[in-house]
Structure 1
Amino acid sequence: MQLSLKFVTGLLLASSAAFAAQDDIEVNLHRRNLFINAGNQLNVDAFTKHLVKVNNKYKGALENFKRNMGHDHPLLSILLNSIKRDGQGSLSLTDVQDELLWSGDVTFGGQTFGMDFDTGSADSLANPGAYNPKKSSTAKNTWSTFSASYGDGTQARGLVYTDNFEIAGLKAKDVAIGHSFTKFIEDQEPAQGIAGMAFPSIQTFPKKYKPFFESLKEQKAVKSGVFQFTLKAGQGSTLTLGGIDSSKYKGDITYVDVDPSQGFWLTDAKVNGQSIKAIIDSGSTVITGPTAQVRSIVQKINGMSAFNQDGTLMYTYDCNATPNVTISVGGTGFKLSKSQLSFGRTNGQCVLPIVGQDGLPMNAWIVGDTFFQSVSIIFDTDKNRMGFATQA
């Protein structure tokens, strides 16, 4: 049976009765973007602090890769020792709320809470209070510790448990969950954790404790090892688990191979014809690349004005003029629309959601929500590939 998670803006409305009544199960999810206020003004400072957090996630993933695989990641260039921290950990915990969230309900040990689905990490972590193993008769303490630090000064630190797991009616036993003793996501209901969907080679947990989707796959809770993101700015966004929903795209699917040993959903791509390495990351808000590469591409687009915010290269443009940006994967180009290319406003100008940063841990681009909203993306763990198609 093919099961879907339906993303909508607003409160969670699903009930247990819905699971019994429907074949394709859809759960209402919560989406917020607190970078941009009601007047479409971008909080540039909060946004750049968020980018530090995202980049630090990759530093931790590369450290995990070396520990798990015994050697440095092939794309490693430099570690994030040069990332600017305002007072080394002085950033407020509330900065976590400035992220764009794609979250929905999961259940561990009979306890239901919201988690952000992240193709850029591989572990499931929960805030203290969201999951309490003492309240579960099926929880098992592995006595393995974990620690994950973020660039805004927050840290998830605690013990790995295994417990019965459920998502949209799909069930698996002994799925790993990191019970954090420290709050790493500030109060932002319903999101109280992170559900990683990358490959095990970058996970923080010991190797035998697989990411949740791998557990669903191994226990044959899903029909296939495929999941599909179709994210939209408004209503109608979906995460489909165990198959492909053909109603979410039009035309053909372009597939590219992925090397699971590298941990990330990584592929060759092009931005306006310039070749890049792209990590497809649902846990990132915009598109971030090495500063020199971003400058080389964006300075060729008419009407761009550059500025620097806390070491991040950003661009603005006249909101009446839509930039020309095409991202190509597997030889197929996907042109970004006007709405996808406007990430709020500052000083009366639209902000381009393509930014440059030095100190990235790899010479690769982190391709997030901006691109997700133009395509339906299929993540195939059976055939180790990704598929891209224009959204219906």
Structure 2
Amino acid sequence: MQLSLKFVTGLLLASSAAFASQGDVEVDLHRRNSLISSGNQLNVEALSQHLKIVNNKYQTALNNFKRNMGSDHPLLSLLIGTSISKRTGSQGSLSLTDIQSEQLWAGKISFGGQSFGIDFDTGSSDTLANPSAYNPSKSSTAKNTHKTFSASYGDGTTAKGTIYTDKLSIAGLNGTNVAIGHSTTTFISGEDPSEGIAGLGFPAIQTFPTQFKPFFLQLKSENVLKSGVFQFTLKAGKGSTLTLGGIDKSKYQGSITYVDVDPSQGFWLTDAKVNGQSIKAIIDSGSTVITGPTSQVRSVVSKISGLTAFTQDGVLMYYYNCNLSPSVTFNIGGTNFKLGKNQLSYGTTNTGKCVLPIVGQNGLPLNAWIVGDTFFQSVSIIFDTDKNRMGFATQA
């Protein structure tokens, strides 16, 4: 599953002071090379490719949902009977400089004593590794389940192989029978050391048979964690962390706003508003930008002055004079979270215009907004599997 093409080198592992009996700990997160060059120019072609991969991830998740739950996902049913125009309005085409690839958040993990970098993705539910990262024959604790898996992705790569259970170590936490897919094909490649993906979604969307729990839920079932809570705090520079087993209060300021989540939906999904418009929002650490159905994005963005629309491979995008400061506010659970100036500029065009990190797509496989990295960098987000809820607070 090539969710991104290249990583920032040097993924580090670190843990904070742990509670007795393995409490909450932290994994330092680093992200892959961004879609932004050293000259701050955005690679729209690479972004378009990333969006295709994300779309395919969601199509796979919807297929898994139907197989696991016996019916189509409710968000898919909202699209039935809807006529979707292939036009995106009267926009021009803008030529942007092609630079390096996308970004995802990664840290260190160890299976059977073999340590490697891995993406942490709240938009999927399986743990998979490249053949060069994990070799079950070199692990004395690996158990072959004799179950196979196969998943194809939007960049043409396929992860396929056998599911094993093995001892997992992450930031000082140790599980004993955690499922990992040993792929016989390389599905993540590049110059970085990250060679796998660790899904943090719910079992309803997993590719693995449902008797194999996602790694975090397996740690929870083995009583490894103080609580079934993890917390993402992502920053543009250094200091991004994934807290496992509890909440790090130093990562946020003010109070936490909680919203309920239905685990049977598979996704970390909530009702929200963007500049007053109601949407369905999937909170996804495996996506770089904020993506929504074209008509909904156009409705929101058309009310913001100073923006000019353009298209790339059918994706609706916007640019603006960098001296301006567009106003974009998410309302979740009755609390407003306004994107800051740094979050609202996703690189520049070759003419020095700032690019808005909110894009519209007609080809989304479900009727929801995929809320990724841009939003994560403005809040600290708590994912609570004990009480089936998400919490949002302004970053400290």
TM-score, length of structure 1 as denominator length: 0.90
**Is 2:359 the partner of 1:349?**
no
8 Å CA contact 2:230, 2:384 repeated in 1:
yes
Closer/same/farther in 2, CA of residues 226 and 250 from structure 1, 3 Å limit: same
**Is 2:301 the partner of 1:298?**
yes
SS at match of 2:74: coil
CA deviations on 1:252-293 (whole Å, 9 max, x unpaired) are 110000000000000000000000000000000000000000
Counterpart of 1:92 in structure 2 is none
8 Å CA contact 2:275, 2:329 repeated in 1:
yes
2:231 to 228, 231, 252: 228
8 Å CA contact 1:256, 1:386 repeated in 2:
yes
Closer/same/farther in 2, CA of residues 254 and 26 from structure 1, 3 Å limit: closer
Q: Which letter does structure 1 place at the counterpart of 2:204?
A: S
Distance in 2 (alpha carbons) for counterparts of 1:329 and 1:193: 31
Distance in 1 (alpha carbons) for counterparts of 2:166 and 2:195: 17
Counterpart of 1:359 in structure 2 is 363
With 30-39 and 269-278 compared, the bigger mean Cα shift is at 30-39
8 Å CA contact 1:304, 1:317 repeated in 2:
yes
SS at match of 1:98: coil
2:121 to 115, 118, 122: 118
Counterpart of 1:259 in structure 2 is 262
Distance in 2 (alpha carbons) for counterparts of 1:380 and 1:14: 23
CA deviations on 1:18-70 (whole Å, 9 max, x unpaired) are 99xx9975544432233111110111111111100001000000000011111
Distance in 1 (alpha carbons) for counterparts of 2:159 and 2:225: 29
SS at match of 1:254: strand
Counterpart of 1:91 in structure 2 is none
Residue pairs, 1:133-282, within 5 angstroms: 133-282=136-285
Counterpart of 2:31 in structure 1 is 31
Q: How many residues align?
A: 369
| Shift in Å, 1:368 | 0.3
Counterpart of 1:371 in structure 2 is 375
Distance in 2 (alpha carbons) for counterparts of 1:236 and 1:14: 12
| Shift in Å, 1:373 | 0.4
Closer/same/farther in 2, CA of residues 190 and 209 from structure 1, 3 Å limit: same
Counterpart of 2:57 in structure 1 is 57
8 Å CA contact 1:30, 1:190 repeated in 2:
no
Q: Which letter does structure 1 place at the counterpart of 2:387?
A: K
Q: Which letter does structure 2 place at the counterpart of 1:181?
A: T
SS at match of 2:53: helix
1:385 to 379, 386, 389: 389
Distance in 1 (alpha carbons) for counterparts of 2:24 and 2:221: 21
Counterpart of 1:42 in structure 2 is 42
Closer/same/farther in 2, CA of residues 64 and 15 from structure 1, 3 Å limit: closer
Distance in 1 (alpha carbons) for counterparts of 2:12 and 2:160: 31
Distance in 2 (alpha carbons) for counterparts of 1:203 and 1:28: 25
Distance in 2 (alpha carbons) for counterparts of 1:246 and 1:26: 13
Closer/same/farther in 2, CA of residues 23 and 379 from structure 1, 3 Å limit: closer
Q: Which letter does structure 2 place at the counterpart of 1:351?
A: V
Counterpart of 1:88 in structure 2 is none
Distance in 2 (alpha carbons) for counterparts of 1:67 and 1:384: 23
Q: Which letter does structure 2 place at the counterpart of 1:311?
A: G
Counterpart of 1:89 in structure 2 is none
Unaligned runs of 5+ in 1: 1-8, 85-94
Distance in 1 (alpha carbons) for counterparts of 2:253 and 2:9: 27
Q: Which letter does structure 2 place at the counterpart of 1:387?
A: G
| Shift in Å, 1:353 | 0.3
Closer/same/farther in 2, CA of residues 24 and 60 from structure 1, 3 Å limit: closer
Distance in 2 (alpha carbons) for counterparts of 1:330 and 1:43: 34
| Shift in Å, 1:12 | 3.7
| Shift in Å, 1:15 | 7.8
**Is 2:72 the partner of 1:72?**
yes
Closer/same/farther in 2, CA of residues 14 and 358 from structure 1, 3 Å limit: closer
CA deviations on 1:284-313 (whole Å, 9 max, x unpaired) are 000000000000110110101000100100
Unaligned runs of 5+ in 2: 1-7, 87-97
Distance in 2 (alpha carbons) for counterparts of 1:287 and 1:11: 27
SS at match of 1:75: helix
Distance in 2 (alpha carbons) for counterparts of 1:160 and 1:191: 20
Closer/same/farther in 2, CA of residues 268 and 228 from structure 1, 3 Å limit: same
Counterpart of 1:11 in structure 2 is 10
Distance in 2 (alpha carbons) for counterparts of 1:156 and 1:148: 5
Counterpart of 1:5 in structure 2 is none
Counterpart of 2:94 in structure 1 is none
8 Å CA contact 1:103, 1:190 repeated in 2:
no
8 Å CA contact 1:11, 1:29 repeated in 2:
no
CA deviations on 1:148-197 (whole Å, 9 max, x unpaired) are 11111111111111111110010111100011111111134231100000
8 Å CA contact 1:126, 1:193 repeated in 2:
yes
Counterpart of 2:90 in structure 1 is none
Distance in 1 (alpha carbons) for counterparts of 2:366 and 2:38: 35
CA deviations on 1:59-110 (whole Å, 9 max, x unpaired) are 000000011111111111459xx9x9xxxxxxxxxx9x82212101101011
